[in-house]
A = this chain, B = another copy of it.
Amino acid sequence: MVTMKDIANAAGVSRPTVSQVLSGQRAGGVQISTETRKRVLETAERLGYRRNEIARSIKTGKTNVIGIIGGLQGGYSLDIITGIAEACAASGYFMKLLPVNNLENDTDALGQAARQCVEHRVAGVICRSLKEHALDTLRAELDAMHIPIVLVDSSSHHDWCSRVVSDDFAGIKEGVEFLLKQGHRKIVQVTSPLNLEYARIRADGYLAAMRESGLPVSEDMICEIDTMLELSDNDKHKLAGFLKTNKPAAVICGSDPVAMKVLMLCHEMKIAVPDDMSVIGFAGLDYTIFSSPPLTTIKQPFCEMGEKAFELLLRHINGDQKIYDLKLKTSLVIRDSTWKAKGKM
């Protein structure tokens, strides 16, 4: 492995000179003759020198690495990471991945990930988390070392660290209003269990939109089904019963997987979508285009969330103490699981 020392020897100059040439920084008014500079650069090239970021960051006390803590499940994780990645690349930062499945429950793993971030002296951490006590673990490790944290896609907010989320409440309201505008009245919700914070927020959005329109609504018009990939027999009966009882004109779902399951059940129950019933999903995952009919869904700006999260983190790294809470707008992607024109009733 070629070092600056090797270059210095080969070029017949001192090591600091090499350092000054290569870093391009003439610190303290240090001047370098063009001849020497050329010779050093040529020698470096010839010997195949590659600078050592490790040694460099031990001196500067800074690393250009951020830690990403969080589970890798869910199709959207990748989009968030992609967003972070792009912003990172633009600023010369790198991502160290610390996957922790079960962020909510596995506090040990979370604490370990945080500690590893500290040991690797990351400049900051982006984390996706859900529960309060889990975050305290993070804070205990990172705050002491003054490593800033930004939460992304986290339902709970804290006044000690910034957060970037999609505005799910507004998003669901927009979806409901879209359905109302098309003439639907009996709108129900199918969603993940309401003890999940994100599901609760989306349920509240649904309830609020209905109430604001003066329509009758109650918690009974919300059906909770499991988050498992496959629709269990239990849930299938529950959901079928729910649809038969309520005979909804439209279903606004708490997530895309839920919406896909609803569509599948509709096929089985011979409910024509969107003729007999409209369906809207939530997330805007790529695969929702493959359902039949292709799913109308409320798209969360995952990629942008990642970008903004890094942007905020960078601010904190650079000393900004202010706490931000960014809620990014969702967008309604209209496909074929809802009516195209108004009032095809």
Q: B-contacting residues of A (Cβ < 8 Å)?
A: 1, 48, 50-55, 57-58, 61, 63, 65, 68, 72, 75, 77-78, 81-82, 85-86, 89, 94-99, 115-116, 118-121, 144-145, 229-230, 257, 260-261, 263-264, 267, 285-287, 289-292, 294
16 more contacts with CB within 8 A, not counting A260-B287, A285-B287, are A50-B115, A52-B119, A54-B121, A72-B78, A72-B81, A75-B75, A75-B286, A94-B96, A95-B96, A230-B289, A257-B290, A260-B290, A267-B292, A287-B290, A291-B291, A291-B292
Q: Which residues of B contact A81 (CB under 8 A)?
A: 72, 97, 99
The 19 sampled A-B contact pairs (Cβ below 8 Å) are A50-B119, A53-B120, A54-B57, A54-B58, A78-B78, A86-B99, A94-B96, A94-B97, A94-B98, A95-B97, A97-B97, A257-B290, A261-B290, A263-B290, A263-B292, A264-B294, A285-B287, A290-B291, A292-B292
Q: Which residues of B contact A51 (CB under 8 A)?
A: 119
Q: Which residues of B contact A116 (CB under 8 A)?
A: 94
Give Cα A170 to B119, complex, Å: 45
Asked if B85 and A50 sit within 8 Å, CB to CB, the answer is no
Nearest-CB distance from A99 to chain B (Å)? 4
Give Cα A229 to B287, complex, Å: 8
Give Cα A61 to B52, complex, Å: 11
Q: Which residues of B contact A118 (CB under 8 A)?
A: 50
Give Cα A98 to B97, complex, Å: 11
Q: Which residues of B contact A260 (CB under 8 A)?
A: 287, 290
Nearest-CB distance from A287 to chain B (Å)? 4
Give Cα A218 to B228, complex, Å: 42
Asked if B98 and A120 sit within 8 Å, CB to CB, the answer is no
Give Cα A85 to B120, complex, Å: 17
Give Cα A96 to B64, complex, Å: 12
Q: Which residues of B contact A58 (CB under 8 A)?
A: 52, 54-55, 58
Asked if B72 and A99 sit within 8 Å, CB to CB, the answer is no
Residue on B nearest A259 in the bound complex, by CB:
B290
Residue on B nearest A230 in the bound complex, by CB:
B289
Asked if B48 and A54 sit within 8 Å, CB to CB, the answer is no
Nearest-CB distance from A279 to chain B (Å)? 13
Asked if B121 and A53 sit within 8 Å, CB to CB, the answer is yes
